[in-house]
Amino acid sequence: MASLVDGFGRSFPYLRLSLTEACNFRCSYCLPDGYRANGRPTFLEQDEIRRLLRGFAGLGMRKVRLTGGEPSLRKDLPEIIAIAAGTPGVRKVALTTNGCLLLKKARQWREAGLTALNVSVDSLDAARFQAITGHDRFQDVIDGVELALGLGFDSVKLNAVLLRGLNDDALPQWLDYLRERDVSVRFIELMRTGDNKDYFERHHVRAETLRQQLLDAGWTLVPRAADAGPALEFRRPDYRGRIGIIAPYSKDFCSGCNRLRVTARGDLRLCLFGEFGIPLRPLLQSDDDHEALMGRIATQLGLKAAGHGLHQGNSGITPHLASIGG
According to the binding rule CB under 6 A, does residue 205 interact with ligand SF4?
A: no
31 binds, among ligand SF4, ligand SAM, none (CB under 5 to 8 A by kind): ligand SF4
Q: Tell me how far, at minimum, the Cβ of 38 lies from ligand SAM, in Å.
A: 16
Tell me if 275 sits within 8 A of 317, measured CB to CB: yes
According to the binding rule CB under 6 A, does residue 27 interact with ligand SF4?
A: yes
According to the binding rule CB under 6 A, does residue 185 interact with ligand SAM?
A: no
Q: Tell me how far, at minimum, the Cβ of 278 lies from ligand SAM, in Å.
A: 21
According to the binding rule CB under 6 A, does residue 64 interact with ligand SAM?
A: no
Q: Check the CA dihedral 32-33-35-39 and report its sign.
A: negative
Nearer to ligand SF4, 6 or 70 (CB): 70
According to the binding rule CB under 6 A, does residue 4 interact with ligand SAM?
A: no
According to the binding rule CB under 6 A, does residue 69 interact with ligand SF4?
A: yes
Return the range that interacts with ligand SAM (CB under 6 A); candidates 7-15, 23-31, 202-210, 222-230: 23-31
According to the binding rule CB under 6 A, does residue 144 interact with ligand SAM?
A: no
Considering only 67, 115, 263, 315, the residue that binds ligand SAM (CB under 6 A) is 67
According to the binding rule CB under 6 A, does residue 30 interact with ligand SF4?
A: yes
DSSP string, 16-75: EEE--S--S---TTT-TT----SSS--PPPHHHHHHHHHHHHHTT--EEEEESS-GGG-T
According to the binding rule CB under 6 A, does residue 322 interact with ligand SAM?
A: yes
DSSP string, 251-307: TTTGGG--EEEE-TTSEEESSTT-S--EE-GGGGS-GGGHHHHHHHHHHHHTT--SS
According to the binding rule CB under 6 A, does residue 70 interact with ligand SAM?
A: yes
According to the binding rule CB under 6 A, does residue 193 interact with ligand SAM?
A: yes
Neighbour tally for 19: CB within 10 Å: 24
Q: Check the CA dihedral 36-40-41-44 and report its sign.
A: positive
Backbone φ and ψ of 200, nearest 5°: -60, -45
Residues 73-112 that bind ligand SF4 (CB under 6 A): 98
Backbone φ and ψ of 129, nearest 5°: -55, -45
> In Å, how far are 64, 115, 168 from 86, measured between CA atoms?
12, 12, 41
According to the binding rule CB under 6 A, does residue 120 interact with ligand SAM?
A: yes
> In Å, how far are 47, 272, 323 from 97, measured between CA atoms?
23, 18, 15
Residues that bind ligand SAM (CB under 6 A): 23, 29-30, 67-68, 70, 96-98, 120, 159, 161, 188, 190-191, 193, 196, 321-322, 326
